[in-house]
Amino acid sequence: MQERYGKMQPMTAQPWEPRVSRLEGAFEQLDKRLGSIEGALRDLRREMNQHFDRVDSRFNQLLATMITSRLVIIGIVIGFFESIRSHLAR
């Protein structure tokens, strides 16, 4: 007899094999589900990496454009001051 929640329960006389096979089946289902979750996570990670690569590329293009425009502005300002200086030197 087995005590459960303060009451004596009779021990089941079922053989172990059906119980073990049910457990094995449950573990196989869990293994399949975890495998599908791992696959989904792998796909999601790949997709996220592709998006981040695109964002990085766009950021680099924007940064190059900003640097170039600032260099052009600096060149224009230097040219302007040089032309003023040459006019004042006459």
pLDDT mean over 60-85: 96
pLDDT at residue 2, as a whole number = 54
Structural domain boundaries of the chain? 19-89
Q: Could you give the CA distance from residue 4 to residue 41 in angstroms, rounded to a whole number? A: 42
Query: Which residue(s) pair with 9 in the sheet?
Result: 2
Least confident among 10-14, 26-30, 56-60, 84-88: 10-14
> Mean pLDDT of all residues in the chain?
89
pLDDT mean over 54-75: 98
Number of C-alpha atoms within 13 angstroms, CB side, residue 50?
Answer: 6
Q: Is 0.75 topped by the overall pTM?
A: no
